Amino acid sequence: MVKVVPQDNFLRQQMIYSELLGRARLLIAGRFSVRRAEPVIAVTLLFRDELFEDAVWDAKDKGILAKSECFRIMDTDMIVRGISRDTGKDTLIAVESSFTVHDGDIVRVNRTASALRKVFPDADVWAAVYCAAISDENSRRAEDDGVEVISNVRV
């Protein structure tokens, strides 16, 4: 079987988003030991769970989050909510997707996870990047920063 990889960056990014959206429940549920995994934000689908969004903006109104942190959460490629199979606690996983992970992807998803911890202090919160490729350097950085890498390829 031949795998076609588009050369155009936009098309490559759309391929990654599409794959992430199509496999999100399986990927997240398996990787993070989460049941009932459901996206609460999926930017490429323009999908946002209203109750989740309300909780974020209510946190801003109460002074828990800065406006920039609200926008960081809302601009995250995907946020999945589920229940930890290990602890039974609510779990949120922030995911940034990119064909090739760069430093900025790791920084952004960490900022999202930090903001989510402020809004949902009793939940387990994880950060992840989903990609087709990641350099050894960025793989180490992600590991050092506590960001889970979901990828099959190293470049």
Query: What are the angstrom distances between the C-alpha of 12 and each of 37, 49, 131?
Result: 26, 27, 10
Say if pTM beats, i.e. exceeds, 0.75: yes
**If the chain, 155 residues long, is cut into consecutive pieces of 10 residues, what is the mean pLDDT of each piece?**
48 59 70 82 70 94 97 92 93 90 94 98 95 89 94 53
- Domain definitions of the chain by residue range: 30-150
Share of the chain above pLDDT 90, in %: 54
In tens, the pLDDT along 56-78 reads 999 999 999 999 999 999 999 88
pLDDT the model gives residue 44:
59
Cα torsion 38, 120, 99, 106 to 10°: value is: -160
In CATH, what class is 30-150?
A: alpha beta
